[in-house]
Amino acid sequence: MKAAKYLALVIALALVGSFVTAPVASAQDAKVIKIASHSPLSGGQSLLGTAIRNGVELAIEQYKKPIEDMGFTVEFVPFDDQATPDVGVSNAQNIVNDPAILALVGHLNSGVAIPSSEVYNRADLAMVSPANTNVNVTDRGYPTVNRVCGRDDAQGAAGAQYAVEKLGSKKVYVLHDKTAYGEGVATFFAQAMEAAGVEVLGFEGTTEAANFDAIITPIAALEPDLIYFGGIYNQAAVFFKQARDKGIKANFMGPDGMDGSDLAKIAGEAVVGLVYTSAAGPASVYPAAEKFVEDYKAKFTINPEAYAAEGYASTQIVLAAIEKVLSENGGAMPTRADVAKAIRATTDFDTVIGKISFDANGDPKVATYYILQVKNADPAKWGENELVSSVTAPSPLTAKEMMEGGMEATPEATKSN
Amino acid sequence: MPALQRAGNWINLYILKPIGQILVFVVVSAAIMSALALLLGAVLNTPWHGIDLLKTRKGIDLFNQVVKQLPDMLLDGISIGFVYAVIALGYTMVYGVLRFINFAHSEIFMVGGVIGFEVMTRLGEANALSTMPPLFVILLMILMAMAFCGILAVVIERIAYKPLRGAPKLVPLISAIGVSFLLTDVVRAVQALSRNVFNMPYPLDRVGNPPRIFDLISFDPITQLSKGQQFLNPPFLQTRIPLVGNLTTNMTTVIIIVSAIIMVVGLNYFVNATKLGKGIRAVSQDQTTAALMGINVNQMITLTFLIGGALGGAAGVLFGLKVANITPYIGFFPGLKAFTAAVLGGIGNITGALLGGILLGLLEAFFSALLPFFPALGTGYSDIFAFSVLILVLLFRPTGLLGKKEDEKV
């Protein structure tokens, strides 16, 4: 018995020791440039979080050569925010304390990105977001915060427009997940629906993850023709499945958080026909993405989920900016502020998801919002979801400039099938 | 005739009486809740002295809405209530015997859900899911989960609780919380490494789907033909079961309620009518005296954990069938609510756990289904109201609804 206790003590000490010594092993090298990814790699949303991580890794592998030719080693450091704000913020403290990290690609969840970027901004660390659509991500006007995707005000409006014009919705019930992202986009959607004269029967937030019975009961009694879920696929799928099982016939709709094949894996037949808006188009709409999809499949042996291409594109921007700073300062280690400035200055830069220019707030000057419909209950066929419509809209700052310049600034529907 | 009379007595005592008791609990709590909801609906429909205190959603006839939703709220509440009750039995039995709250029980419940997922997925991978009789599949899932979780609970007791039996009461409690974290992360790691999944959706739609209710134990060879996930008939678990009038419910609800009743009745019989049950009751009254009477206390404690764990595992499968998706974190809230149910009914009391579970299920269902009509509050506040009721009950009956006042033993 005593021997066992000592053995346990020795094992515990060894474990503690290994944690203490681990950081020492990664000795600081002035010639190392690190790029971090920060997204949920574990938990219910890891499907999309891992897609972002993989996109960043692939882009670094393919585009690091020019920087390495200037005598630097480019390293990739993935972080796991667990889709939780406090984990994101505590990781952010660690990230800004590593001087070799010059830029970061992340997050998946706006609710995590907003508090974490406060930390990055204090340390001048540039963040390029592949997926955060909440308006407050960029509306704070931080010089370090950028995104390659669209905004929830436009996304909610695009969804509402489709719901009214194409689905003929008259009565809608809106649910959200109580996160900054989910509640934000659901609010914009509900406002746009009300403005279009649609009756909003209810606007409810819930963190329930498993048993939605009691939430479905009033919805069934109110008989809406459309249910909108502002949230992420892992929670929404369970809700949609149970709602169909309880005999609800209404159309289902959601924002870009629905764009994960696990939605079909969990909800099956229940989500066939579901319409979702997305700030990330399917690979088929990007001419340059064909090779990306092939490379991604070859490296990771899985299909790229939503935001893999956006993660890749964000990294392309980051690497080009670092390269530019290096060529301007004659090969000295760039400062974070210089990198952030170079990223913000990105204009008409060719990425895998098309040309990107940032406005003064870090929004892409023009963003396209895609409206897709789930076609098959088989998660392996998620990539075959049909693009039913798309809307291109300028960012608020760009729209203001255009108004001042006397140009038409209303969003225009470019394609509609 | 004495043999027949004995059998009659036996059926009366161990089958009819407990089922009658469950029925009374369900009917009485359902009637009270319905009456309160209808009363509230009627009162709040007309603003009091012109003041709309709770700011009811505009254009809603609250009374009508309550009437419309009543059957669904009752069925939701009762079905989740039975799940809570089965989990609560595990808490209450262990507490009754050891005066110790086994906080790892919520994770044993979660493991039960995972075992159900594994059995179902493996059957699906072997293409047996749509060919096997559905009820047999479900029985197999429940039995496998019961066996695995029963043994798991015993192992946990041996490793994490037994060495601490003489220690102050808080020590095993902390140990239980540790075990609970450990189980969550072990399941997370195992599922991530073996299947690379976090969400574990039950392939419910693939369970065989005969359309006629009286033909449950047979299957239609046509549905065997693989057509992707397109089914000719509505999936078995979606089969509508007629109740009163034109009110129907689905097969899952019926399965949950029937299996929960079987388990409660079985446990009641075991504890009250068998020698081993007598042993458990003796240990729960006084360990030292029980030991002096020749009862193997350790064996009885092991048995208690075995039964509690098995019930938790079965509840996990029932919950999985109901919600269709299990994750390693699923155990926390149902576990917390079941623990609450056990306290509400009177912890240590088996009948109390049942009553507490049903009552808490109904409270939760009523509150979250009616709060959306008060936009100032909303569904998110349903737990606050349900737990306020708990506090009120405990203020007036600190030992729970059916708990007996018990003097501290010296």
Q: Per residue, what are the HEC states of B46-79?
A: CCECCECCCCCCCCCCHHHHHHHHHHHHHHHHHH
> Between B276 and B248, whose confidence is greater?
B276
pLDDT band at B350 (very low <50, low <70, confident <90, very high): confident
Judging contacts by C-beta atoms under 8 Å, the chain A residues touching residue B188 are 42
Contact flag A215-B368 (C-beta cutoff 8 Å): yes
Q: Which of A323, A352, A381 lies at the terminal end of a domain, its last residue?
A: A352
Instruction: Show residues of chain A in contact with B365, CB under 8 Å.
Output: 213-214, 217
Q: Is A239 on the interface with B (CB under 8 A)?
A: no
Do A115 and A60 lie in one domain? The reply is yes
SS3 (DSSP) at B248: strand
Are residues A171 and A129 part of one domain? Answer: no
Chain A CB contacts of B63 below 8 Å: none
- In which band, very low, low, confident or very high, does the pLDDT at B365 lie, cut at 50, 70 and 90? very high
Which of A38-42, A340-344, A402-406 shows the lowest mean pLDDT across its residues?
A: A402-406
Angle formed at CA B38 by CA B341 and CA A207, multiple of 5 degrees: 45
Q: What is the pLDDT of residue B126?
A: 83
pLDDT of residue B50 exceeding 60, the answer is no
- Read off the pLDDT of each residue in B281-304 and give the average, rounded to a whole number: 93
| Whole-angstrom distance, CA of residue A199 vs CA of residue B156 | 54
| Confidence at residue B401, expressed as pLDDT on a 0 to 100 scale | 87
Residues of A in contact with B79 (CB under 8 A): 213
Is the CB of A266 less than 8 angstroms away from the CB of B201? yes
| Shortest Cα distance, chain A CAs vs residue B72, angstroms | 6
* Average confidence score pLDDT of chain A: 88
- CB contact, 8 Å: A379 with chain B? no
**CATH number of the CATH domain containing A188:** 3.40.50.2300
Nearest to A204 among B68, B327, B378 (CB): B378
> A262 with A377, same domain?
yes
User: What is the per-residue pLDDT for A411?
Assistant: 52
Are B65 and A218 a contacting pair at CB < 8 A?
yes
> Do A84 and A125 belong to one domain?
yes
Between chain A and chain B, the number of residue pairs with CB atoms below 8 A apart is 109
- pLDDT, tens digit, for every residue of A285-316? 888 888 999 999 999 998 888 899 999 999 99
- The nearest CA of chain A is from the CA of B160 a distance in Å of 14
Residue contact A221–B57, C-beta within 8 A:
no
Nearest to A206 among B323, B325, B380 (CB): B380
Residues 258-297 of A with CB under 8 A from B: 262, 265-266, 268-269
Cα angle A292, A295, A297; round to 5: 105
> Do A142 and A53 belong to one domain?
yes
- A209-262 pLDDT, tens digit per residue, is 889 988 999 999 889 999 999 999 999 999 999 999 888 999 999 999 999 899
Domain assignment present for A357: no
Q: In this structure, is residue A80 part of a structural domain?
A: yes
| DSSP letter (8 states) at residue B204 | G
Number of domains comprising chain A:
2
pLDDT value, residue A27: 43
Q: Does B370 touch chain A if contact means CB atoms closer than 8 Å?
A: yes
Of B28-37, B122-131, B156-165, B316-325, where does mean pLDDT reach its minimum? Answer: B122-131
> Per the CB < 8 Å rule, is B365 touching A213?
yes
| pLDDT tens track for A142-179 | 999 999 999 999 999 999 999 999 999 999 999 999 99
Residue position matching structure tokens 């895609």: A370
Q: Given this model, what pLDDT does residue A30 score?
A: 60
CA distance B89 to chain A (A): 20
- Summarize pLDDT for B135-155 with one digit per residue, the tens: 999 999 999 999 999 999 999
Cβ distance B372 to A202 less than 8 Å, yes or no, reads: yes
A398 assigned to some structural domain: yes
User: Same domain, yes or no, for A82 and A203?
Assistant: no
Is A53 in the same domain as A122?
yes
Confidence of residue A84 (pLDDT cuts 50, 70, 90): very high
- Which residues 371-410 of B have a C-beta within 8 angstroms of A? 372-373, 375, 378-380, 382
The residue from A319, A352, A385 where one domain ends is: A352
**Residue A195 domain-assigned (yes or no):** yes
Taking alpha carbons only, the member of A114, A117, A133 closest to residue A125 is A117
pLDDT of residue B203: 86
B125 confidence band (pLDDT: 50, 70, 90): confident
Instruction: Point out which residues pair with A128 in neighbouring strands.
Output: A105, A146
- What share of chain B in percent tops pLDDT 70? 88
Same-domain pairing of A175 and A226: yes
Nearest chain B Cα distance for residue A183, angstroms = 13
The per-residue pLDDT for B222 is 38
pLDDT tens column, B189-248:
999 888 888 889 998 877 865 433 333 334 433 333 333 334 445 678 877 888 877 788
**Chain B partners of A218 at a C-beta cutoff of 8 Å?**
65, 69, 369-370, 372-373
- Please indicate, yes or no, whether residues A248 and A170 belong to a single structural domain of this protein: yes
A135 and A197 together in one domain: no
On whether residue A358 sits in a domain, the answer given is: no
What mean pLDDT do residues A271-285 have?
86
pLDDT digits (tens, 9 = 90+) for B299-348: 999 999 999 999 999 999 999 999 989 999 999 999 999 999 999 998 88
Taking the Cβ of residue A384 and every Cβ of chain B, the question of whether any pair is shorter than 8 Å is answered with no
Q: Which domains does chain B have, with CATH numbers?
A: 14-41+62-396 (1.10.3470)
Over residues A94-99, the mean pLDDT reads: 94
Assess whether A157 and A143 both reside in one domain. Answer: no
Average pLDDT, chain B: 85
Tell me, what's the pLDDT at A67?
92
Across B166-195, average pLDDT = 92
pLDDT at residue B87, as a whole number: 96
Domain of residue A199 covers 153-278+368-416
| Cβ atoms within 10 Å of A363's Cβ, excluding its own | 27
Residue ranges of the alpha helices (H) in B324-406? Answer: 332-345, 350-370, 382-396
Q: Say whether residue A168 is in contact with chain B using an 8 A CB cutoff.
A: no
pTM of the model: 0.86
Residues of A whose CB is below 8 A from B379: 204-206, 214-215
A142 and A51 belong to one structural domain: yes
- Which chain B residues have a beta carbon less than 8 Å from that of A238? 323-325
- For A45, the token pair is 């949303």
Judged by CB atoms closer than 8 Å, whether chains meet at A44 and B198 is answered as: yes
Confidence of residue B385 (pLDDT cuts 50, 70, 90): confident
Are B325 and A237 in contact (CB < 8 Å)? yes
Predicted confidence at residue A276, as pLDDT, reads: 95
Cβ–Cβ gap B79/A237 under 8 Å: no
CA of B329 vs chain A CAs: smallest distance (Å) = 9
- Residue A221 forms contact with B (CB below 8 Å): yes
Cis peptide bond N-terminal to B105, omega within 30: no
CB contact under 8 A, A211 and B80: yes
- Is residue A1 domain-resident? no
- In this predicted structure, what is the pLDDT of residue A165? 93
Name which of A80, A211, A232 to mutate to probe chain B: the one with the most chain B Cβ atoms within 10 A of its Cβ: A211
Arithmetic mean of pLDDT, B59-85:
89
**Which residues of chain A make contact with B330, given a CB cutoff of 8 A?**
209-210
**CB contact (8 A) between residue A206 and residue B370:** no
pLDDT tens-digit series, residues A168-217: 999 999 999 999 999 999 999 999 999 999 999 989 999 888 899 889 99
Contact across the interface for B69 and A217, Cβ inside 8 Å: yes
How confident is the model at residue A97, as a pLDDT?
Answer: 94
By Cβ distance, the residue of B201, B322, B379 closest to A265 is: B201
Pick from A352, A378, A406: which residue ends a domain? A352
Read off the pLDDT band of B250 (50, 70, 90).
Answer: confident
User: Quick check: A210 and B319 CB within 8 A?
Assistant: yes
Report if residue A266 sits inside a domain: yes
- Name chain A contacts of B252, Cβ cutoff 8 Å: 245
Is residue A290 situated within a structural domain? yes
pLDDT for A11 equals 64
